[in-house]
Amino acid sequence: MRKFTGNNINKKQLPIGIFDSGLGGLTVYKQIRKLLPKENLIYFGDTARVPYGSKSENTIIDFATQITKFLNDIPVKAIVVACNTASSYALKKLKNIVGIPIIGVIEPGVKAANKKTKNNKIGVIGTTGTIKSNSYKDTFKKINPSVEVYSNDCPLFVPLVEEGWIDHSVTYQIAQEYLKELINTDIDSLILGCTHYPLLEHVIKKILPNSVQIINSSTEVAMEIEKVLTNNNLLNTGNESKSMNKFYVTDFPQKFIDISKNILGYSLENVELVSTELLDKYSE
């Protein structure tokens, strides 16, 4: 791995850290890679401890804190919490533990939906943790209180994606069950409030009426990190070297390589294993 020691390179050339419980954050990674081709990116997938969505708030705060400190030690110049569950439960706290810009995925998703809705009736699907936290409802209250939010958790979607069951008939049946109540509302937009869900967008689209537009926040998140880097004078404008991608996972690197190939369209090389024992040392 090319070493980012922090003292021998310009701060702008430091990587952006992006993390999720597993593969889902790659939907955000992909957009950031596309929008900011000069940036060095480090992706962290906590594959040993996925799913996050069914775990308690305290556990998620602990996991997210460990990963944030791990990334900060590399070092990175900014962090994208590419996980709705960790953004819902831990973002505020994470912002206080490291002195670099950190963004989450909830507010960009809300802003994107708010721009698109015509009738102010918006559906949100996410993990049990995200839906229970009310993070979307609370953010809509701040941004546009007249929006009515209809939400539903879809706990089996994440394990299905992690297994690579993206086109499986079982996935389709489960999606029909999860979406049946939302179909009976008159929402005109549906936020995919979990970074794994864009990988099931084709399934979700088949079930929802055509009048419902699907909101995937990853483009908005990429634009937000560009804005934050620009405002902090951290955008990598130099052409000194080719941009670098590096991936860390806490379990099964080969499985991550195999399934991510379907998501990214190419095979990852730079995937390294980090033990959860090491991460535990970053707990407060």
Rg (CA), the chain: 18
Nearer to ligand DGL, 18 or 235 (CB): 18
**Least separation in angstroms between CB 153 and ligand DGL:** 10
Which of 4, 52, 178, 247 touches ligand DGL (CB under 6 A)? 52
Those residues whose C-beta lies under 8 Å from the C-beta of residue 76, and which sit 6 or more positions away, are 4, 14, 15, 16, 17, 42, 100
Give the binding-site size for ligand DGL (rule: CB under 6 A). 16
Which of 4, 15, 21, 68 touches ligand DGL (CB under 6 A)? 21
Those residues whose C-beta lies under 8 Å from the C-beta of residue 79, and which sit 6 or more positions away, are 16, 17, 18, 19, 68, 71, 72, 94, 98, 100, 101, 102, 103
Is the separation of the CB atoms in 76 and 100 below 8 Å?
yes
Selected range binding ligand DGL among 45-53, 69-77, 217-225, 265-273, rule: CB under 6 A: 45-53
Residues 167-196 that bind ligand DGL (CB under 6 A): 194-196
The per-residue DSSP string of 35-78 comes to H-TTS-EEEEE-TTT---TTS-HHHHHHHHHHHHHHHHHS--SE
Looking at the chain, list the stretches that DSSP marks H as alpha helix, in order from N- to C-terminal side. Answer: 26-35, 57-73, 84-97, 106-116, 128-133, 135-143, 157-162, 169-183, 201-207, 218-231, 253-264, 276-280
Return the number of other C-beta atoms located less than 10 Å from residue 92's C-beta. 11
Selected range binding ligand DGL among 4-12, 51-59, 207-215, 230-238, rule: CB under 6 A: 51-59
For position 47 contacting ligand DGL by CB under 6 A, the verdict is: no
Residues 245-284 that bind ligand DGL (CB under 6 A): none
Which of 147, 158, 199, 234 touches ligand DGL (CB under 6 A)? 158
Which of 15, 17, 20, 256 touches ligand DGL (CB under 6 A)? 20
For position 135 contacting ligand DGL by CB under 6 A, the verdict is: no
Given the residues 76, 83, 91, 225, the one annotated as active site: 83
- The three-state secondary structure class of 107 is helix
Whether 154 is catalytic: no
Given the residues 61, 79, 94, 194, the one annotated as active site: 194
Phi, psi of 196 (to 5 degrees): -75, -30
For position 53 contacting ligand DGL by CB under 6 A, the verdict is: yes
Residues 68-87 that bind ligand DGL (CB under 6 A): 83-85
Residues 214-243 that bind ligand DGL (CB under 6 A): none
By the criterion CB under 6 A, which residues form the site for ligand DGL? Answer: 20-21, 24, 50-53, 83-85, 127, 130, 158, 194-196
Q: Which residues are catalytic?
A: 83, 194
